[in-house]
Structure 1
Amino acid sequence: MTTKNLIEDLRWRGLIHQTTDEAELSKLLQSEPQTIYIGFDPTASSLHVGHLMQVMMLRRFQQAGHRPIALVGGATGMIGDPSGKSEERNLLSPEQLQSNVDGVGKQMKQFLVFDGSSGAKLLNNFDWMQGYSYLEFLRDVGKNFPVGAMMGKESVRSRLESEAGLSYTEFSYMLLQAYDFVYLCREHNCRIQAGGSDQWGNITAGIDLGRRMLGKQLFGLTAPLLTTSDGRKMGKTEKGAIWLDPDRTSPYEFYQYWINVDDADVMRCIAYLTEIHRDEYDSLAEQTASDPGRRGAQKRLAQWMTELVHGAEGIASAQRATSILFGGEIEKATDAQLGQIFADVPSVETDRSVLSGEGWWIVEALQKSSLVKSSSEARRSIKEGSVYLNNRRVTDMDVRLTEADLASETVLVLRRGKKKYALIRFTTNR
């Protein structure tokens, strides 16, 4: 992708929300490869779906031949950005902060290439802030920062007017982020900062500080926030954030999140988050408008995003789990996978010893699971062909269940009809 194509691509995707000087920025990008940075606050040891907008922005610039810098805020993370927040964050311990920095840094390497002529850089602003004394910072940076300009920023003004107010600690955040831009320009020739639309005040503060301290013109670019059509932030469920760490959000749960995106939001998600080309995008948009029941756009979005974040193995696992949910035969599953797939399905426990010897009569198992109320109802259901063991139809009412029938290490899945599921978990009493 060329720089010209990059700007056009960002525009049709709706990813250009604000720029400081679009004409000059376009000229700069076409003159020679540039360095662009985006900051990430290490508030957790994993990135989540909300971060993907900015991760993909860096990725798009790199694919157009520019050098991205992913800046992890080991220093700014000690304070917390007040932008878009209604109250002050809890401060993290140095140990927790370092763990978060390490986790976020590791994940960045999944999405960006860190070698070659346009190889990405992963930096931590704690490295240049840790030796800066308070007095030195005030002399070098503070004197170049007009308080009136800071008070005029929406992120500051809204918090000052809120019930929670704004502490001096958070008020100082803007100075630190602005100085990051100056440092990166001076040390890495970085003249462009990007971010979400809530970062506009911080970005323009850095541009002004760069002009005052370095006498250079710097540039800013923001993208819209990832929200639903009714204004809610995307990437959250009733269980919490959708994380990129598979130990926090499994590939199956990640895949299901995108499969269930609303029709009103799916095409915007595809434009914002994927690298799907315009012709395929138009085809999916037409399909969604004419036949939304097929959920073709959602399936393509889920497949693309899950493969990006979790790789080929992750998407295969997620699709296999989805097949199980819709009646596919269950084999080679784990307790954890079945727990995720059937999270809302009733389960009962019984002693594993019932599976030994001659085994456990299927009729008794159905009664234990509460899928039927009596043995006669169990027999009738089997005769009608509506009973399934691990999603395989049971046709013999004399079947005896043994350990060979387990769907995973300790779980057996029973189904009656199309949708009535029950899990039986086998425990060992010693």
Structure 2
Amino acid sequence: MNTKPRQTGRGGPRGTKNLPPAPDNKENIDTQILRLEQLEQKFNVEGSNTLDIVYARQENDQHHATIQAQAAELERLKEIVASFHASEGALGPNITPSGSAAAGSTQDAPKKDKARKHSAAANVDDMALDERASKGQIGAESQPSGKKGKAPKPSAPTNVDDMAIDAPDGAAAVAGTGADDEGVSDTTAALARENAELKRLLAAAQAGPVGGPAEEGPAPGSIPRPKGSAGSDFNIQDAMGLGHGRKNRKNYKSIMRSCRDLVLQARIDWERPWAEVSAATKSKAFAVAEERHPILARFFNSWATEELMKQSVKNKRNRAYKHDGLEVPEKYAYLKANAAKRNPTAPRGRQAKLGRVDVARKRAEKKKKVATSSIKTKKDAKGKGKAVAPESDEDDVEMKQYAPSEEDESDCTY
């Protein structure tokens, strides 16, 4: 049975002509304006900079996420330390005052022998205290000898730590001799190292992140900025990799419109040159642009976003110079004098300039070809006839006339 959908008209499936039209640019702008109004009402800061609100909210979310991560890490380390101390306390009842294991013979079960070693290492002080108490030495005072001229004998030390200091190893003083002493000392050292490492991690988590900012440099996979200036040395759209394909061109226009809107929303003074805009204002605008269009984060140091915003500011300022009566700075007064010297009837478009350069190149190639043929004809004549004279230099003068000047190249817009 044929399961292909029935087609009508130009080959599309039935019902395609009843689909709703795609939203135009006006609807997208209205949606953005509505979103900004909702954000402004939410924060109740009417008349303030919208970019400041968005950027502050983004920073607040980042700090909150960092604090939550640190708190979770701290709780995890606290649980590790608590479980470690709980395991130490659970080993205590396994040791009797006489120092023997409470359950079974250690010779028949190696696992019980290992547990006895851990128990002895964790309860060294308790065992020593029990032994001294069984002998009646703890709390006993020094007794006189009963003989004249002799000092009374000192009583046994009552501090358990002092009892362990005299022995070469605190664990070996009460846990037995031979192989058991070595096992207990190794276990005690391992537990001490583990406890010190846990304390170090806990202190580091409580102190928070330490260290300076990350090293500067392009991240792996990022796109560096081309050399030169945009418009004359490279094309922004081609450098971004959006110069080919209908989808790429549509994406580029969307990014360009967003950058133009962000310049107005950030209240950037477009009457001033881009170099005089503060770095803080630029960074906020870059952050919001990268949030709206994640592709902009691929370019190192946000050079693509900066070029698009700089281009928008420059175009708006140039239009104001021509139509809105914006006063041109004095440092650009020489450009007006240069423009007065040009021929107003001469074509100044980019294609016209390229055409003049192409004509001059073809004339030069033609002249070179004629000169080469004249030399060959002169050699073939061998004095039998008059040699062909080369053409005059009038073509050189004409070619220089059509060659573009430096001023024309500087005024060329892309």
Relative to the length of structure 2, the TM-score reads 0.19
Structure with the larger strand share: 1
Structure with the larger helix share: 2
The structure number with the bigger radius of gyration is 2
- More relative contact order, 1 or 2 (CA 8 Å, 6+ apart): 1
